[in-house]
Amino acid sequence: MAENKKKKRRKGTMASATERMLVGQNINIEEEEELVTPMQQVVRNFVENKVAMTGMFCFLVILLCCIILPFFFPIDRYYQDVTQANVAPGFGLMTPPKALQGNAMDISAGSTYSVGLDRNGNVYEWGTFPNAKLKKLPPASEMGKLVQISAGLDHVLALNEEGTVFTWGNDRMGLESIPMDLRMGDKVTKIYAGYQVSFALTDRGRLYNWGNEYLVDVRIPKEVQGNIADFEANTNIVMVRTTDGRLVPLTQKASAYTQIPEEIQGHVVDFALSDESVAAITDDGQLHVWGNNVKGTMNVPEELEGTPVRVEGGRYHFVALMEDGSLRAWGDSTFQQNHAPSISEKVVDLSAGYYGSYAIGESGKVYSWGLKGYLMGTDAFGRDVFRRLLKGGRMTLTVGAIAVVISTIIGVIVGGVSGYKGGRIDNLMMRFTEIVSSIPFLPFAIILSAIVGNRVTETQRIMMIMVILGLLSWPGIARLVRGSVLAEREQEFVTAAKSLGVKELGIIFRHIIPNVLTVIVVNATLDFATCMLTESSLSFIGFGVAEPNATWGNMLNSAKDSKVIEDFWWRWVFPSISLAICTISINCVGDGLQDAIDPKSKER
């Protein structure tokens, strides 16, 4: 009996201790609830959700990149350059092989690749090759020792010490058909590989051209042929310098190129062509520039002091070698073409190509500046995929965001009024909501775009897409708000507001809607991703934002060809990855908000 009493006493003591512990725990929980507000609890729950936080981080990174980086990487919507078409990602376009460094004799920059010769006449090639045949050189035993080399769009010319010309690469449009006079007659002294055309100058002052005869119209006057000391060419014109120092354009069409200053005629010692202007050095050491001032090709820098002894031209830039051995460059600087380096040794050779330049020091070392490559490659029009991805992301995010704002405003108004008023008004509004939700969005947008698409400007077209997305996306959020308002309108605070004489609209939008705001935010977040995908779908099938404006959808539309998918993977991989990561991240954020707001989703 005594033992039983002791056990009961122990149990009672243990029970009272347990009760005290539970009471203490309840007090701590109550104190914690007093210290943590509902919003703080929602934030805490959201932060503890690793998937949601990862999605938030990824989305913010993409958003900031699309907003900020376009200011540092601007893009011209109408820019096109077929010479840069379908260049693979990488930055090796102007990185010469190590074997050439310290042993270079001649070098030339092509469209997206370069070629060079060492002092033994061996050929080196690097960069991205637009034609696989560029890698198939003639046998070295057949060519002998090469002394000159020139890179064109997709073919190469080479000259050996005997004056024989060799070519490889593009073999269409007659580029492989070297004139017989060059094979059996005069000795060639200078070669030039251009845009689908080739040129050669002989020691007797005669100029020969072959290739695409329709691209550049070459008309050599009889009095000029046999009296040519030098020549230059671009995609528009060929110009020669005669032995008496005069410049003669080999065309019958008047243009900005042909307006040669009369005072320099008979005094030109060197000259160069860009695609839009001409730069010439006269025997008094003066530099003269004329033509079209496109991308600053005629804006000769004021610090160009001293005497220029040589000048070379790319597509939209010039480089001058000064008498003191320094280099000066001007013109387009999109790819840092006018950032000529300071070279401590004497420069013995200078070359400027499409978007890059090379200089060779007397030690044989190669110095390069200009277009190194593209982070994400280029598309079929030579446009930088990375820059268009940033611009397209901004457009896609903007369209999705504005469409969500429109749909949310309409949905909140319709759902709030319908849920609060009830009765006939509720019935009428819900039937109208069902009618709107039954409209097939994609067919409707396609038909509307086909009807009015060509009658409006591109800006109006983009605004139309945003409005249509917003006007047809609100039924879902309207139903959600209606259900939440139906539950909230019977609460005591609504009765109190009525007794105080607050108007119905004030009760709906000042008292009830703030209490269901978290639900609206979650739904709007999920709709944001849906609107982005819808806009991308419209642009992908050609009825959304049209070229030249960039969106992720029309970037994918331009890459839907099987050849592009197989050979130019970068044109569809980067836009699709960006769109996928962005939409998945937004959905993860929306799901995380929903779990954080719903008290049943988390156990204490």
383 by Cβ neighbours in 10 Å (0-12 / 13-18 / 19+) ranks as buried
Q: Which amino acid is at 429?
A: M
* Residue 481 maps to a domain: yes
Calculate ∠ Cα 474-480-486, nearest 5°.
Answer: 130
Q: Which helix (H) or strand (E) holds 118?
A: strand 113-118
CA dihedral 134, 140, 144, 145 (to 10 degrees): 70
Mean pLDDT of the 420-435 span: 89
In the numeric block, which tokens belong to residue 525? 């977040």
Pairing of strands 123-127, 113-118: antiparallel
* DSSP state letter for 554: H
Asked if 187 and 161 count as a contact pair (C-beta separation under 8 A), the reply is no
Mean pLDDT of the 464-490 span: 86
Share in percent of the chain as helix, strand, coil (round to 5)? 45, 20, 35
Which range, of 102-106, 245-249, 534-538, 600-604, averages the lowest pLDDT?
600-604
**CA atoms of 393 and 575, how far apart (whole Å):** 9
Provide the mean pLDDT of the chain: 86
User: 20 falls in which pLDDT band (50, 70, 90)?
Assistant: very low
- Which spans in 36-49 are helix H? 38-48
pLDDT digits (tens, 9 = 90+) for 489-548: 877 888 787 788 888 788 888 888 888 887 888 888 888 888 888 888 878 877 778 788
Which pLDDT does position 19 carry in this prediction? Answer: 47
Nearest to 257 by CA among 232, 231, 270, 276: 276
Asked if 361 and 326 count as a contact pair (C-beta separation under 8 A), the reply is no
Q: Which amino acid is at 309?
A: V
Residue 304 has pLDDT above 80, yes or no: no
Q: How many helices (H) and strands (E) does the chain have?
A: 16, 21
Asked if 298 and 289 count as a contact pair (C-beta separation under 8 A), the reply is yes
**CA atoms of 397 and 528, how far apart (whole Å):** 9
pLDDT digits (tens, 9 = 90+) for 62-75: 999 999 999 989 88
Which range, of 242-256, 261-275, 292-306, 368-382, averages the lowest pLDDT?
292-306
User: 239 falls in which pLDDT band (50, 70, 90)?
Assistant: very high
* Residue 327 maps to a domain: no
Which pLDDT does position 11 carry in this prediction? Answer: 47
* Residue 433 maps to a domain: yes
pLDDT digits (tens, 9 = 90+) for 247-258: 999 988 888 888
Mean pLDDT of the 306-316 span: 90
**CA atoms of 38 and 393, how far apart (whole Å):** 35
Which pLDDT does position 384 carry in this prediction? Answer: 94
Which pLDDT does position 186 carry in this prediction? Answer: 77
* Residue 529 maps to a domain: yes
* Residue 121 maps to a domain: no
Residues 6+ apart with CB under 8 A from 304: 287, 320, 328, 330
Share above pLDDT 90 across residues of the chain, in percent, rounded to a whole number? 46
pLDDT digits (tens, 9 = 90+) for 141-197: 899 999 999 999 999 999 999 889 999 999 888 898 888 877 766 789 999 999 999
50 by Cβ neighbours in 10 Å (0-12 / 13-18 / 19+) ranks as exposed
Backbone φ, ψ for residue 124 (5° rounding): -130, 140
In the numeric block, which tokens belong to residue 416? 């709030």
What's the number of domains the chain is made of? 1
**CA atoms of 470 and 472, how far apart (whole Å):** 6
Strand, helix or coil at 432? helix
**CA atoms of 94 and 133, how far apart (whole Å):** 20
Which pLDDT does position 21 carry in this prediction? Answer: 46
User: 3 falls in which pLDDT band (50, 70, 90)?
Assistant: low
User: 458 falls in which pLDDT band (50, 70, 90)?
Assistant: confident
Strand, helix or coil at 441? helix
Strand, helix or coil at 511? helix
User: 28 falls in which pLDDT band (50, 70, 90)?
Assistant: low
Residue 31 has pLDDT above 80, yes or no: no
* Residue 199 maps to a domain: no
339 by Cβ neighbours in 10 Å (0-12 / 13-18 / 19+) ranks as exposed
Residue 295 has pLDDT above 50, yes or no: yes
Residue 36 has pLDDT above 70, yes or no: no
* Residue 167 maps to a domain: no
Q: In which domain, by residue range, is 523 found? A: 51-69+383-601
* Residue 585 maps to a domain: yes
Structure-model confidence comparison of residues 6 and 423, the more confident one = 423
Asked if 130 and 113 count as a contact pair (C-beta separation under 8 A), the reply is yes
Asked if 582 and 491 count as a contact pair (C-beta separation under 8 A), the reply is no
Backbone φ, ψ for residue 156 (5° rounding): -130, 140
254: left (phi over 0), alpha (psi -120 to 50) or beta: beta
Taking every pair of C-alpha atoms in the chain, what is the biggest distance, in angstroms? 140
* DSSP state letter for 541: T
Q: Which helix (H) or strand (E) holds 61?
A: helix 50-72
- Which spans in 137-214 are helix H? 140-143, 180-184
CATH of the domain at 482: 1.10.3720.10
Backbone φ, ψ for residue 146 (5° rounding): -85, 145
**CA atoms of 241 and 229, how far apart (whole Å):** 6
**CA atoms of 48 and 42, how far apart (whole Å):** 10
DSSP string, 59-108: HHHHHHHHHHHHHHS---TT---GGGTTPPSBS-TT---TTTTT-EEEEE
Nearest to 588 by CA among 529, 545, 546, 518: 529
Asked if 107 and 351 count as a contact pair (C-beta separation under 8 A), the reply is yes
CA 231 to chain centre: 36
Calculate ∠ Cα 271-276-281, nearest 5°.
Answer: 20
* DSSP state letter for 455: G
Q: Cis peptide leading into 548, omega within 30 of 0?
A: yes
Residues 6+ apart with CB under 8 A from 158: 123, 143, 146, 148, 149, 150, 165, 166, 167, 191
**CA atoms of 469 and 407, how far apart (whole Å):** 8
